[in-house]
Structure 1
Amino acid sequence: MAPQAKVQCFAAKDKKGKLERCEYEPLPLQAGDIGTMDLHVVEWISGCVLCYAKRGQPFWKAVLTFFLASAEIKVTHNGLCHSDVHVMREEWGPCKYPMVPGHEIVGVVEQLGSSVTHLKKGDTVGFGWFKDCCQHCDACITGNDNICPEGAATIMGGGKNTGGFAERFRGSGNLAVKIPDNMSPADAAPLLCAGITVWSPIRKYVTKPGMKVGVVGLGGLGHLAIQFLAKAVGAEVFAISHSPNKREEAMKLGATHFVGLEDIKDNTLDVVLNTTPGGMDAKKLLSKVGYNGALVYLGGGTDTIKIVAFDLIPAQKQVVGSCVGGRALMREMFQLASLHDIKPIVDKMPLDKCNEAVDRLMGGEARYRSALGLTG
């Protein structure tokens, strides 16, 4: 059998995070491709493979389970997220290099494993933070595959967990989501992480129209949260920011109010979505949450959250985190975005300008997400 063509990509070769042209050998896609693979090769393939193997399934059957469910896409666009930078700079733990970032991946299906029946060649699909899950744990069978204990994150750890900053990408067909026909790939890409990150807690905690919801930060996450809250849910949206120059844009996006945190009375808001990566006083944020309300952390910062039990108990408040969302919520989010014309504000750049895009992101210049295209 002829060797597989190597994938051309951009990768970080150390934690300084500068992206350079690189190439790697892709994982096999069909059963016949794995005949010469050694045992050690599959150690990094997928959490589900290791999970099945540990439960006594014959080893090669477990490997086939992964490969036959895979999909390969020709990448057209990637979103750029703070999480890509956190991983490649080892801010979230050790990383193997070279590391190929990109977990907001849109492309066209070119090849499918024989067990993938819900997709066809030519479909435009996306992959987000996870590229595989075990399919059988309690989380997976209840639609919460985003918290599957054996889930395979697209880029975490780097190395063979290659992301979408490449000409091709392979992941589980089960986690590929179809992109609506009326949505451009550049607009769809940021929704695969930023969009689902805000929609998931909105769906869980904003349970009826008219609820008062604070959105802290008007950036890549915040500007999408405002749109989903206003257009899809009918909430009373408090855009919380100390940047007066963002007032006009926040109101155009659908905010009901544009305020500073100090302008909000204590115990006023039903839900507060903190979309910032850090630097906010948790006690002050929580003071604005009303009875039975929730303060939800969405940004992946490393700040310590300092509160005491009595900040929570009298008004039965809760402080929670939210991790992207499962397949059902992902599909729902895209349907709503398509129906209500919810889309990110994006900087569109070619993929070969990825280092410039990273500099703009980290310098606070991106408005509000970056979409890196291989096709323009």
Structure 2
Amino acid sequence: MSQAKSYAAFAADKPLAPFSFERRQPRADDVAIEILYCGVCHSDLHFAQNDWGMSQYPVVPGHEIVGRVTSVGSQVSRFKAGDLVGVGCMVDSCRTCSACNGGVEQYCLEGSTMTYGSEDRQDGTITQGGYSDSIVVSEHFVLSMPDGIDLASAAPILCAGITTYSPLKHFGIGKGHKLGVIGMGGLGHMAVKLAKALGVEVTVFTRSDAKVEEARRNGADHVVVSSDPAQMETVAESFDFMMDTVPVQHDLNPYLKALKYDGTHILVGLLEPIEPPVEAFNLVFKRRVVAGSLIGGIAETQELLTLCAEQNITCDIEMLDINNINEGFERMAKGDVRYRFVIDMATLKNTAA
């Protein structure tokens, strides 16, 4: 085992604080990684505050990890010490069910093992994430960082990027389609960039006039201020797809009315009950669909990293000293970041843990 330094949540109502713990001794198929950068996801905040009622403390958040390989197990063939790699939201799955065999490990029929807050399938310990100086992960769930990719801005691609890329691919959204992107945050701005790379006509829906120019700068063809009924009326029955990146409860019905018949509204941000309820009329009379999508599989994530490197697609980030993580959480909760914090893990050396 090796000693790891980190920041952890110790209770739902307590700030994150320095924490030292033991990482497991690498197994034969494991890759040991020195963490260089870790993105800060809204899910980290939810988990730290036990918003989903499943947190076990202490918990080290972080599932947008970029680092350098320090050693590999005897059965590892794809990586060697010194390689630049990434780790996303999953670190294991059963690897034998139909979902795993189909390359969608996130839908593992036995439940995938998440990067933090999950039970390790072999030793029963609770996984700890990337707000730390090191991590040990099975080779299958380690990603290669393509040559030329910016490492810091690539970190959020492992969650925000793949969360929006996977439904684009699954639903076959491409040239000739009109896509509405609801919300202009970490997920939303990546949805715009990736959809444009696939030749899609993209309209951003935002409640804020202040984000209109931001949306255009990120490549949106059109912007609709959704709090303006007149603007919403002009786009009624216009879109093939909606990608809904909003992580809190909101009214889906106005956006459903903006879909054509046979249109699909894809939820990628909301994990809570839909409130207010969806009006069945908006579905039945136009054969519309409300769907959901969760991150993406390992092969799909590697495909996305390659695409981002080739087309110079990056996540807009603000670098964060880990000693300011609680301030970062407060700002993220207020939407005061454009569009993703990324922790420079070198700053962890200056903590007391």
Identity among equivalent pairs (%): 33
Shift of 1:279: 3.6
2:122 corresponds to: none
1:121-164 CA deviation, whole Å, 9 max, x = no partner?
Answer: 11111111111112111001111111113310111359721001
2:9 corresponds to: 12
SS in structure 1 at match of 2:35 = strand
SS in structure 2 at match of 1:375 = helix
CA contact (8 A) 2:2 2:24 kept: no
CA contact (8 A) 1:346 1:368 kept: yes
Distance (whole Å) between structure 2 residues aligned to residue 157 and residue 86 of structure 1:
15
CA contact (8 A) 1:345 1:369 kept: yes
2:21 corresponds to: 24
1:215 correspondence with 2:154:
no
Superposition pairs for residues 336-347 of structure 1, below 5 Å? 336-347=307-318
1:178-209 CA deviation, whole Å, 9 max, x = no partner?
Answer: 11221122111111100000001111224330
Shift of 1:289: 1.2
1:373 correspondence with 2:344:
yes
CA contact (8 A) 1:96 1:157 kept: no
Which of 106, 127, 132 is residue 166 of structure 1 equivalent to?
132
1:335 corresponds to: 306
Which of 275, 281, 293 is residue 322 of structure 1 equivalent to?
293
Distance (whole Å) between structure 2 residues aligned to residue 258 and residue 167 of structure 1:
41
2:190 corresponds to: 224
1:243 correspondence with 2:208:
yes
CA contact (8 A) 1:177 1:327 kept: yes
1:196 correspondence with 2:162:
yes
Distance (whole Å) between structure 1 residues aligned to residue 267 and residue 309 of structure 2:
26
**Alpha carbon RMSD of aligned pairs, Å?**
1.6
1:176 corresponds to: 142
Which of 124, 133, 136 is residue 93 of structure 2 equivalent to?
133
Shift of 1:341: 1.4
Matched to 1:323, the amino acid is L
Distance (whole Å) between structure 2 residues aligned to residue 194 and residue 81 of structure 1:
8
CA contact (8 A) 2:117 2:126 kept: no
CA contact (8 A) 1:129 1:193 kept: yes
Matched to 1:116, the amino acid is V
Distance (whole Å) between structure 1 residues aligned to residue 4 and residue 326 of structure 2:
19
2:117 corresponds to: 156
2:41 corresponds to: 81
Shift of 1:95: 1.6
1:63-97 CA deviation, whole Å, 9 max, x = no partner?
Answer: xxxx3222110000000001011111111123211
Shift of 1:375: 3.2
Q: How many residues align?
A: 335
CA contact (8 A) 1:105 1:189 kept: yes
Shift of 1:301: 4.1
1:305-337 CA deviation, whole Å, 9 max, x = no partner?
Answer: 512444323322110110000012101111111
SS in structure 2 at match of 1:13 = coil
Shift of 1:213: 0.3
SS in structure 1 at match of 2:19 = strand
CA contact (8 A) 2:70 2:82 kept: yes
Distance (whole Å) between structure 1 residues aligned to residue 54 and residue 243 of structure 2:
29
Matched to 1:134, the amino acid is C
SS in structure 2 at match of 1:25 = strand
Distance (whole Å) between structure 2 residues aligned to residue 149 and residue 356 of structure 1:
38
Gaps of 5+ in 1: 30-66
- Using the size of structure 2 for normalisation, the TM-score is 0.91
Gaps of 5+ in 2: 120-124, 348-353
Shift of 1:17: 4.4
